[in-house]
């Protein structure tokens, strides 16, 4: 890899990220059922109807996985806590095994000199709350604040940073408008409500963690570079709207206490009554902002109902997800977020990485494509920093090959290969390259 730590500002944090349902093994340790279990059990939703029952068995193998992080010279481990593992019914009595697990996990990080970067929610909603309408129900903000209090009451004294919700766009739009993720809805009213409530829950969780005395609290949004499919004004408007509901909506709510007009044109009539009164909670001050970035999308207009556009295939080289490789988009989005929303607040690239059909040959995994991808995106980060964006860290997605949601175990994003039969871990060439780069001062 083409960098050394000294190419980045003093104190820049390098990490790797995972999430609970994707790696832990949700059939262990008294975790409750989640909407992902039932979504996956419904034919047609997930490749081969795979689920997170065993995943990488991180629940039992977490110590070895933390060793991989420490031996890889990472500074930070970004992990998430499963709501249903901590509160199997979503509310009420905590599961002591679940709390003990996160306690051990955080202590394990500290023992190895790793900074624990917690995300409270990375998509495994407890089924009893899904039964009550899940993210469509305004009460979820209170349920989430209660969950925050329980889990952070236990580990909040030792986590280095915390963010409430991973990728609000996925929780709202991908899951309620496109129906690709649990609960698999395709309904504009559900979408508008979920998108607003996810922000309300974010704000309530920030307030709850502040009241617990925690600091270094942030928000993690996913962003895609939105480009018009051609040079017509119609395509430009289509890309601007995509940019609006994908990239602007959530940070605009959090940092400007307003939603973009372009998005309100479609979602406004479906937002819950009194939504304008929630911005003081939604805009609760945070200490940093995280951006998850993977790709760009080319957008073309069409005659469908709002948002009246669709994605078209782009010409650039693609990852195994079919996503174009476009590091310039990361540079652009970091600079724009700094300029238009977050000012001097530290920015983190909280996820970045690529899927590839990696295979073990002679006991090793050669993934030069991933080394190149990471190198190119770290170059984009350096350019954003040189242009004045206060980027303070970069976390690769993901430490391990894992459950890639609707795509099951087929898409491998890991720096470490996982054999899903034996569960054996094999660090890939990209892990070794990153480890060597991080050892360079
Ligand atoms: O695996 C996901 C992760 O859960 C959230 N961000 C994107 C990753 C790759 O699709």
Catalytic-residue membership of 351: yes
What atom in ligand 1 is closest to the CA of residue 222? 6
Residues with Cβ within 8 Å of residue 367, at least 6 apart in sequence? 356, 358, 428, 429, 430
308 torsion bin: left (phi>0), alpha (psi -120 to 50), beta (else): left
| Alpha-carbon dihedral angle through residues 344, 350, 354, 355, given to the nearest 10 degrees | -160
Indicate which residue of 167, 224, 324, 404 is catalytic. Answer: 167
- For a pocket test of ligand 1, which of 34, 320, 377, 398 has the largest count of ligand atoms closer than 8 A to its C-beta? 398
One digit per residue, the tens of pLDDT, for the chain of length 441 reads: 989 999 999 999 999 999 999 999 999 999 999 999 999 999 999 999 999 999 999 999 999 999 999 999 999 999 999 999 999 999 999 999 999 999 999 999 999 999 999 999 999 999 999 999 999 999 999 999 999 999 999 999 999 999 999 999 999 999 999 999 999 999 999 999 999 999 999 999 999 999 999 999 999 999 999 999 999 999 999 999 999 999 999 999 999 999 999 999 999 999 999 999 999 999 999 999 999 999 999 999 999 999 999 999 999 999 999 999 999 999 999 999 999 999 999 999 999 999 999 999 999 999 999 999 999 999 999 999 999 999 999 999 999 999 999 999 999 999 999 999 999 999 999 999 999 999 998
- The CA 17 to ligand 1 mean position distance, Å, reads 10
Give me 43's structure tokens. Answer: 């034919």
CB within 6 Å of ligand 1 — which residues?
A: 19, 22, 167, 292, 351, 397, 404, 413
Say how far apart CA 118 and CA 317 lie, in whole Å. 33
Say how far apart CA 50 and CA 36 lie, in whole Å. 10
- The CA 211 to ligand 1 mean position distance, Å, reads 30
- Residue whose Cα lies nearest atom 1 of ligand 1: it is 404
- For a pocket test of ligand 1, which of 16, 19, 124, 171 has the largest count of ligand atoms closer than 8 A to its C-beta? 19
Tokens 């073309």 found at:
300
Indicate which residue of 24, 124, 351, 404 is catalytic. Answer: 351
**Topology of domain 5-439, CATH:** TIM Barrel (3.20.20)
Cα atoms in the Cβ-side hemisphere of radius 13 Å centred on 312: 14
State if pTM tops 0.85: yes
């Amino acid at each position: 890899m083409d960098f050394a730590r000294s190419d980045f500002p003093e104190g820049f944090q390098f990490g790797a990220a995972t999430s609970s349902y994707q790696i832990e093994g949700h059939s262990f340790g008294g975790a409750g059922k989640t909407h992902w279990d039932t979504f996956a059990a419904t034919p047609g939703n997930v490749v081969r109807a795979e689920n997170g029952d065993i995943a990488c068995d991180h629940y039992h193998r977490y110590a070895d996985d933390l060793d991989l992080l420490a031996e890889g010279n990472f500074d930070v481990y970004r992990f998430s806590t499963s709501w249903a593992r901590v509160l199997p019914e979503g509310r009420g009595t905590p599961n002591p095994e679940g709390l003990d697990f996160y306690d051990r996990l955080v202590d394990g990080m500290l023992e190895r000199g790793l900074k624990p970067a917690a995300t409270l929610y990375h998509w495994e909603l407890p089924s009893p709350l899904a039964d009550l309408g899940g993210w469509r129900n305004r009460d979820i903000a209170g349920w989430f604040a209660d969950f925050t209090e329980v889990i952070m009451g236990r580990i909040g004294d030792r986590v280095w940073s915390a963010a409430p919700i991973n990728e609000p766009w996925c929780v709202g739009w991908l899951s309620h408008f496109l129906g690709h993720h649990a609960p698999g809805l395709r309904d504009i009213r559900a979408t508008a409500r979920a998108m607003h409530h996810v922000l309300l829950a974010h704000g309530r969780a920030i307030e709850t963690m502040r009241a617990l005395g925690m600091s270094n609290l942030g928000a993690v949004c996913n962003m895609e570079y939105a480009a018009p499919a051609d040079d017509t004004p119609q395509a430009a408007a289509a890309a601007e709207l995509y940019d609006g509901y994908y990239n602007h909506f959530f940070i605009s709510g959090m940092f400007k206490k307003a939603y973009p007009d372009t998005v309100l044109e479609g979602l406004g009539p479906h937002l819950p009554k009194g939504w304008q009164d929630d911005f003081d909670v939604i805009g609760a001050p945070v200490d940093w902002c995280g951006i998850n970035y993977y790709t760009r999308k080319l957008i073309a207009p069409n005659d469908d109902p709002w948002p009246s556009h669709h994605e078209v295939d782009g010409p650039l080289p693609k990852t195994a997800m079919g996503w174009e490789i476009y590091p310039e988009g990361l540079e652009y989005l970091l600079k724009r977020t700094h300029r238009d929303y977050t000012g001097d607040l530290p920015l983190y690239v909280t996820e970045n990485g690529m899927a590839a059909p990696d295979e073990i040959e002679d006991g090793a995994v050669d993934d030069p494509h991933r080394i190149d991808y990471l190198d190119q995106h770290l170059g984009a980060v350096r350019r954003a920093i040189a242009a004045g964006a206060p980027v303070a860290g970069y976390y690769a997605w993901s430490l391990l090959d894992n459950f890639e949601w609707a795509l099951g175990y087929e898409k491998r994003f890991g720096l470490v290969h996982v054999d899903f039969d034996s569960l054996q871990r094999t660090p890939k060439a990209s892990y070794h390259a990153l480890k060597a780069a991080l050892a360079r001062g």
